[in-house]
Chains A and B, each alone.
Chain A
């Protein structure tokens, strides 16, 4: 029973790691060049500061997730994992919120500011970035669940252990 629980948690951590890795890879390799008449437009993730922040934050969390997968069960560092889980969850949610805000402007435009949507001109880039952000959203939700679990296991907030 305890062993299946441990394997479940390891799988959850692996899911979080792979979701962050997938979103980093998808957003980094998304670029499209379209040219009509004499104008050539290239859409890359480095064009926007929010996407750069997104990629950097998710790369950091990918490395952290990879290292935590190998932490042995009896280590005292699981207390540090509680703190680091909190910090990295806050980082993840801030970066995905920023990337979603800019992507929403790219998809729908902003009439009041006179900003036209760019998804009509570079549809493949738009689709790839949407996919990357969706994977990022899965990663955020998984990290929130993992954070709540870390606090539950290490700190016992619901007073379930009678000793």
Chain B
């Protein structure tokens, strides 16, 4: 049985031709940049902490000071953001390692399918984390007058700025992850397996 480009194709599960596979440098470099983006978002948000002391009352002439801390772990949405981006960066790291070191590893021809499905899962997780953290930060920045929730960014400005930087890097990582997922799915097309009949 011959395939379109004349490579020897075996019948059954091992239909992936393992010879003459050019390395996809664009895919690999996109993964490296996405790994750096999501890893930096995780680290910046996880080390986001600010302590500030306020004068809450005055007795006579001496003000009473209370110390308030703003940490990322106070908000469940930011905890989820850190976890999701940590997962995304770990996934990218594993994929980069597999690409560089383990190109011969294959699971009965399912390698491309596994990569595509895992990429799908990670891009949905990362976008969920981004969505939650974006709207929590918007709430912290603008407050909500209807629910009488005061904004906190005017008092904790460095905390808010660092959170914003983490969010922007996470968005860049998310867009790159989406492009990587599309490329992984397109790779499934290249082995003459597509069926033109709809489900």
Contact = CB atoms under 8 A, between A and B. Distances in A.
The yes or no verdict on A and B being binding partners is yes
Interface of A: 6, 9, 41-43, 47-50, 53, 71-76, 78-79, 82-83, 86, 89-90, 93-102, 104-106, 110, 112-116, 118, 144, 147-151, 153-159, 161-162
B189 A155 contact: yes
A90 B12 CA distance: 34
A159 B13 contact: yes
Contacts of A112: 68-71, 74
Contacts of A82: 185
A43 B152 CA distance: 22
13 contacts: A43-B146, A47-B144, A47-B146, A82-B185, A100-B132, A115-B147, A115-B150, A116-B149, A118-B147, A151-B185, A151-B188, A154-B194, A161-B193
A161 B109 CA distance: 13
Contact of B131 (A47, A72, A94): A94
Contacts of B152: 113
Contacts of B40: none
B11 A93 contact: no
Contacts of A118: 147
Nearest to B74: A112
Interface residues of B, number: 55
7 residue pairs, one from A and one from B, having the closest CB atoms:
A157-B113, A94-B131, A97-B128, A101-B132, A153-B199, A101-B77, A50-B135
A43 B147 CA distance: 8
Given A97-B131, A155-B193, A113 B120 contact: no
Given A94-B131, A110-B75, A161 B195 contact: yes
Interface string B126-144: 0111111111101110001
A115 B134 CA distance: 18
A73 to B, nearest CB: 5
Given A89-B124, A94-B131, A106-B147, A162 B12 contact: yes
Q: Which of B112, B127, B181 has the most A CB atoms < 10 Å from its CB?
A: B127
Contacts of A153: 195, 198-199
Contacts of B116: 151, 157
A90 to B, nearest CB: 5
B119 to A, nearest CB: 10
Contacts of B148: 116
A100 B68 CA distance: 27
A63 B27 CA distance: 33
Contacts of A157: 110, 112-113, 116-117, 188
A73 B136 CA distance: 43
Given A86-B181, A101-B76, A151-B116, 9 more contacts: A74-B197, A76-B196, A97-B128, A99-B135, A154-B194, A155-B185, A155-B189, A157-B110, A157-B116
Given A155-B193, A156-B195, A97 B117 contact: no
Contacts of B77: 101, 104
B175 to A, nearest CB: 11
Nearest to A82: B185
B136 to A, nearest CB: 5
A97 B146 contact: no
B124 A144 contact: yes
